[in-house]
Chains A and B, each alone.
Chain A
């Protein structure tokens, strides 16, 4: 028995889908990428010569949707850590591409570095609740031209899980594909074991970035799965109403499906949900808004309707520091995404609307995810679990503590055991001076010191180093330690 949340009825699902098709046909989407436009025009979509907008044929969009694989494998470098989406299991993913980090020593915010990225990746590798790795921060101390490559390589060096990343420039694509040659022996093996996938965010309302799209086409040709993640802000870059925003997300996603299923029919794709509201008192993006939960729940249903796995942003918050606001926002938005059955829920590790890395927050988020998983798992109802025989055996007024079956079920996980919550008595709490954020910080230190990542084969590591040096001969970083001079 698993708890499930659903929001839209069948009629609403149809209405949103039809509205999106109508938007795609009548208003269109601007893509700007030449190879994309050639593919779409040849397939029979109409491109307005004046505005450059692609007006999509609804029939062709439906044909593209039919090609979407319902299950998507996001393989780990370690086979044990593969994530197969579309099976009903909820997976988790780090939040990605923040630009700041909370400094462990000063406790203050500063621009993020390669050392932060290495630490975040290693820490995530040590946490059981994480399934997928998105490079958590942008290393500001690495030259921009090689950042995507360096961040991906750091990912493969410091975690054995699947790496999901973004690509901004077509010139980066050949290096990433060469990286796959190095890691897999041959990039053609990627179709079987896709250890790398790409996230691509359309720019609402109704646009794709030209360069990013051209780069993604090149990756799609080489069987790199694509998570297309529209990020409209209700009230600003989308209608203020959540229904209108849903129609927009759905349309933007379908425009990508129509394109990438032409590039590679059957290409594994993921519907990424990056939508939320613009806070109308500050004019800023809000990750902690409850409307984000509603959009996640509804779009997860739309994904199921299309037969495509979804990634929701769930363990997310606007809070600037680990604490009360971070905990309640992440728990509420995380819970709704888990119970809606999103295939992936992301957000671990970052604060301040996806901008700020806090390692202790990643440990707290690990605890939040463990809690959510327990709720999402539900419980069994059968003779063994109803335990009528045991109830009769104990009878009236006895207790169950001394029964072997009590212990057996505890060991099987019937009850959740917290790692960070304090459940002791008030007096014990007072005497210990317990503080959960400090405890999380302590755990960060211990894990970073003790955890060992499944090493890359020496040859592959050497290959990655050489590839990066070729991309930027002036680069002087040791990817293992993140220290200069490597």
Chain B
């Protein structure tokens, strides 16, 4: 298959959210001698960015975005070993920890944000729901995450966000990690009051916020992906 043909197919498989095809194409690209970095930068990244643009402009449904991101993630797993060989010691993509705070088992808002952030090229560590404060701290410490996203749907549980920020401070991690908060009852004023670094009202603005908070210009392979949308 010609080089431009495989990039066309990659564009299509990401638009279709076809995981199996995405993995197949990643392997095929490597087999015919293309570098993993080429495949990412000329194939998968622009393909996902195109899907992100279409979601941002309101022309596709959310599941199309999520399926595209999942297909991208699977292809990355195929490419990762070659990528490490091509660029030994290269940093992995930056990490973002997300979770719904203690006492709250509402999952969907946090999961939508997690999927979109992942689609933007960050590595997402999803701790799930009803997450103990200490687990946020240990996850940030272990992953070296640069952003943590806290979610709460209930007025009774949003106060937990403050505890997580305090615990991160106590653990000496607050300098390394920026905190984003969200959920129906949360406001910018509340975010300011508890000392969070940012607040977003819906999935798309949360994704942009976390991208901005992740900031930095490390030449990580996944980094250029973070310009999606």
Contact = CB atoms under 8 A, between A and B. Distances in A.
Contacts of B195: none
Given A99-B184, A233-B108, A282 B103 contact: no
Interface string B76-113: 00000000000000000000000000010111100010
Contacts of A355: 184-185
B58 interface: yes
A281 B61 contact: yes
Contacts of A236: 108, 112
Given A138-B185, A355-B184, A278 B108 contact: yes
A239 interface: no
Interface string A231-255: 0010111000000000000000000
Contact of B202 (A97, A99, A282): A282
Interface in B101-136: 103, 105-108, 112
Contacts of B155: 97, 99, 138, 140, 144, 147
A278 B109 CA distance: 10
A203 B107 CA distance: 9
A107 interface: no
Contacts of B112: 236, 283
A170 interface: no
Contacts of B184: 99, 355
A282 B187 CA distance: 18
Interface in A208-242: 209, 211, 233, 235-237
Contact of B58 (A97, A147, A211, A281): A281
B61 to A, nearest CB: 4
Contacts of A144: 155-156, 159
A283 B189 CA distance: 23
Contacts of B204: 282-283
A140 B154 CA distance: 12
A265 interface: no
A283 B155 CA distance: 21
Given A203-B106, A283-B204, A284-B202, A99 B185 contact: yes
Interface in B31-51: none
B63 interface: yes
A169 interface: yes
Interface string B192-221: 000000000011100000000000000000
Contacts of A281: 58, 61-62
Contacts of A168: 154, 156
A216 to B, nearest CB: 15
A280 interface: yes
Contacts of B202: 282-284
Interface residues of B, number: 22
A111 B189 contact: yes
Contacts of B189: 111
Contacts of B62: 278, 280-281, 283
B103 to A, nearest CB: 7
A235 B62 CA distance: 10
A168 B203 CA distance: 26
Interface string B171-192: 0000000000000110101100
Interface in A112-171: 138, 140, 144, 147, 168-169
A211 B61 contact: no
A367 to B, nearest CB: 28
A19 interface: no
Contacts of A33: none
Given A99-B184, A111-B187, A138-B185, A207 B61 contact: no
Interface string B52-83: 00000010011100000000000000000000
Contacts of B105: 203, 207, 209
A283 B112 CA distance: 7
Most central of B106, B108, B190 by chain A CB within 10 Å: B108
B158 to A, nearest CB: 9
Nearest to B58: A281
A241 to B, nearest CB: 13
B156 A283 contact: no
B82 to A, nearest CB: 34
Contact of B203 (A207, A233, A283): A283
A138 B61 CA distance: 33
Contacts of B156: 144, 147, 168-169
A230 to B, nearest CB: 13
Contacts of B159: 144
A280 B63 contact: yes
Interface string A54-71: 000000000000000000
Contacts of B190: 111
Contacts of A284: 202-203
Contact of A282 (B63, B107, B185, B203): B203
A283 B56 CA distance: 12
Interface in A268-292: 278, 280-284
Given A99-B185, A138-B155, A138-B185, A235 B63 contact: yes
15 contacts: A97-B155, A111-B187, A138-B155, A144-B155, A147-B156, A203-B106, A209-B105, A236-B112, A237-B107, A237-B108, A280-B61, A283-B112, A284-B202, A284-B203, A355-B184
Given A99-B185, A280-B61, A280-B62, 4 more contacts: A144-B155, A147-B155, A207-B105, A282-B204
State the 8 A-B residue pairs at the shortest beta-carbon distance, nearest first. Answer: A283-B203, A280-B61, A99-B185, A280-B62, A168-B156, A283-B112, A138-B155, A236-B108
